[in-house]
Structure 1
Amino acid sequence: MIYLDHAATTPVHPEVLEAMLPYFTLQFGNPSSLHAYGRDARIAVSRARDEIAGWLGCSPSEWLFTGSGTESDNTALFGAASRAGEKRHIVTTQVEHHAVLHACERLEQLGFEVTYLPVDATGRVSVEEVQASLRPDTFLISVMYANNEVGTVQPIVEIGELARSRGVLFHVDAVQALGTLPIRLNELPVDLMSFSAHKIYGPKGVGGLYAHKAVHIAPHLYGGSQERKRRAGTENVPGIVGFAKAMRLAGESRDIRVRLLEELREELIAGLNAEVGSEHYRLNGHPTERLPQILNVSFPGASTDTMLMNLDLNGIAAASGSACTSGSLEVSHVLKAMQLPDEVTGSAIRFSMGTTNEPSHMREVSRRIGTILRRVRSR
């Protein structure tokens, strides 16, 4: 098997697993307990918070541990909405992750108004359209850093500066961007930013939310006083420790990893040109403003579900889009928003590379894709 679905999740790095193991067994205490076991767990959580904050360029007090990227998005949106006062308007885009889109739909049911901005054919939103959508009662803009299906990077600095000039909170879903794009929160005009550990070779079930010190969000979960009363619930200590270790590894190796991912991407494109022919496939997304690890490719004449089934049978793990919705045969909402032709949206496959891949894998994948397409199209 060749795994090309790293945008859905990554395998846990061996050093991350090693760091986590003691907190399942020997140091299993509850961080809220006052005895030695609790103190050990509390110290571990505090160290992890300091480590992650250091790599991201924020204060540890501005970092909130959550259970996932989805929870981080929900906490940001519902937390901001609960503090909005008389303001009732939110601006987002049509290509956001469903953790944002479905949260916005729920907020609409609660009486808020949401503007869903279109994107161009590359999946990028216009700063001018964001500006034109703002109203006196707009309290929040939510735009992802980089798209998880086509890899397009959004102009978050420009949007953030616009939001600051208008006194509007700016939330960014950076789940897919973490580990490959530079993130220094003390240099970005961002108020809230969501993250998840399992996209950077950390464990599933732990995420994070940056909330600028000037931003006060209401809690999304109620119970204990964990996370400065912003997120109730016993902390996932092993996961938190694993997140910090994964963050360190990602920070230390980012330049090397980005070069590898670009090499893998170019190798796959070269292989497709040789095995399929450049006229028989199409790349989706922005040509330059993009993540290095995501390659969304359409193969007109071969439907997405047919290709995915054949890829799996031939030992290649790929996806049709977000892992949260790829079990559905519906066309990706991202590709729909890009207004691409039906033959493009109905034949799109997302290949997402990672450190488990090698250039030889890309050549083999291209060869197998060529064989599959010749068989499928001959029918």
Structure 2
Amino acid sequence: MKHQRRGFLKLIGVGGALTLLPTSITRAASPPAIEDRAVYIAASAGNNGDYYVSAFNASGGILYEQPLPGRGHDIGLRPNHVDVAAVERRPGLYGLILDRHTGNVRAKLHCPENRRFYGHAVYSHDGRYLYITENDFDQARGVVSVWDAQDGYRRVAEFNSYGTGPHELHLMPDGEHLVIANGGLHTHPDQDGRTPLNISSMEPNLSIIDRRTGKLIYQAALKHDWHKLSIRHLDVTANGMIAAGFQYQGDITDQVPLVGIWHPGGDIRPIEAPDTVQVRMRQYCGSVRFDTSGQVFAISCPRGGLVTFWDAQSNDFLTHIAAPDGCGLAATNRTGEFVGTSGLGNSWRMDAIRRKRVELPDDSHKSLQWDNHLRRMNT
């Protein structure tokens, strides 16, 4: 695809639509040939109902595969420590603390009988506490459990998530608050644990709580007409702006936004791609990730087979890159660049600035089916 640089980069999108990348982004693009020495880690699956946490290098070469007792989802990284937390996909009962270098199990977490893990976990900045989203299914409410990593990962508290069906959570930049995507979906393990029981009365929201006390600080919801937009995944910039991806529980032909921007204290601002791209997103966003500069964010759409890219300053759609069943996303150390993984076993390096996708050269990863999320660990 041809392009010219005249203070901006012109990228041809779907259906001939022209996308203009802002000058600030194109100038910030890192030069090529920067070696990536990071290690990437994600939940994965084999072909026989076998599940793993797997790590690979920047070339895609598998470093280890740690078997799991059930399907994993996301990985929490303990700052300045070897620990990583692998939490079972909802409705989960296990959590494992692994050595990030070897995959060896260091500790095991057990969900209480009246709770289920919901797949996402995050550590406090000092690494002392691990926070996990859970379902209090009998009360149809979400909770965030607190585990003391310095005391053998003892469960020490739980806080209200101030919504139903909490999923992804992140620390805010101040390190003192947690932002939670409350998806709004009530499920119960007696009814397979994943079937939504309240679609007609869903109330998804984004909530920010004090990580020490559990006090609700901010909360925002979409307008009632969009109550079937389950808010599932999010990421946060260094200045506290939150990007969120939605999963629509209504008809595939309904016209609804699938991406939102939230500045805490205000309303969630819905944003949309051009019509030709919006349709291809198939009402489902998988992972959300800001790049290393905070100027670009990526949202994967595995059902549509593409990754979308957005300008974090103007909140405008930038471009998209084809990614069959692609969902996992991790930012590299280059502006506008991400590593992505696929449920088909592919791994790519994707450059939103140059609209380029390159397969990682080592194909040993193709024996695995990557799960929905990906994390980058600096070595």
Answer 1 or 2: which has greater helix percent: 1
Structures share fold, TM-score greater than 0.5 = no
Q: Which has the higher strand share?
A: 2
With CA pairs under 8 Å and 6+ residues apart, which has the higher RCO, 1 or 2?
A: 1
TM-score between the two structures when normalised by the length of structure 1: 0.26
- TM-score, structure 2 length as denominator? 0.26
